[in-house]
Amino acid sequence: MILHRRWKTLDGKRLSWLRAKYHFRVHADGNPEHGALGPLLVWNDDEVAVGAGFAMHGHRDVEIVTYVRQGVLGHRDTLGSEGTLHAGDVQVMSAGSGIQHEEFNRGEVPLLIYQIWLQPRESGGAPAWATRSFPARHQHGQFTVLASGFADDSMALPLRAEARVLCATLQAGQQIRHPLGLARQAYLVVVTGAIEVDGEAMDALDGGVILGVDSTVIEAREDAEIIMVEVA
């Protein structure tokens, strides 16, 4: 079963420097059908203008995964961490008992990012930040685990949540059968291209909740990149 969240149905915001679309309801007056999925609270698709960004601000008790789709992201936080992320890079910030950070477009083109917020297993704890490049994502026809709260995923960035973030690229006509298990659920977004998920056609930037299946079958109608978050 897939609950299709088409791009045009997503809530959003437009400012002079920011274009945002919300796969999950951010405000109380947002789309009531786009509620959280287990610990998956937020999935924002942000476009940030050159030279602009999010000034220093704080978070606590949330796991924030950022995936850079285009451009260059600059990060700085109160832990003393600083980083520059390029397209395909991923960062995980565990806010824990509290952290402040700022993020800006450091490139020469609009910055495109996904920001995914997850509820941690436990409140508090020391805040942390980490980033990594994942060249393996270019291997067609299989998922790469980018970040995970499960010990088996030792090559992924660590999460303090019951969740796993995966990425895959597919060539047109290529298919992935991915096991979920009846106790699991997932949210998938089409980064580029067009796909079918269990027979449901999805276009670029669309999202969908996957529920109640042992495994899901994803087939590329054209060359595509996808991101998926599995939650327990």
CA dist 121 and 63 (Å) reads 10
Distances (CA, A) of 28 to 11, 24, 25, 58, 61: 11, 11, 7, 21, 20
Phi first, then psi: give them for residue 169, nearest 5 degrees. Answer: -115, 145
Contact 224, 176 (CB under 8 A): no
Binding residues: 57, 59, 101, 103
Residue of 3, 76, 12, 75 whose CA lies nearest to 45 = 12
Instruction: Please enumerate, by residue number, every residue annotated as part of a binding site for Fe cation.
Output: 57, 59, 101, 103
∠ CA 200-206-212, rounded to 5° = 50
65 with 165: CB under 8 angstroms? Answer: yes
CA distances to 102, 103, 197 from 74, in Å: 8, 5, 34
Q: Cα separation of 219 and 170, whole Å? A: 8
Nearest one of 28, 34, 29 to 8, comparing CA atoms:
34
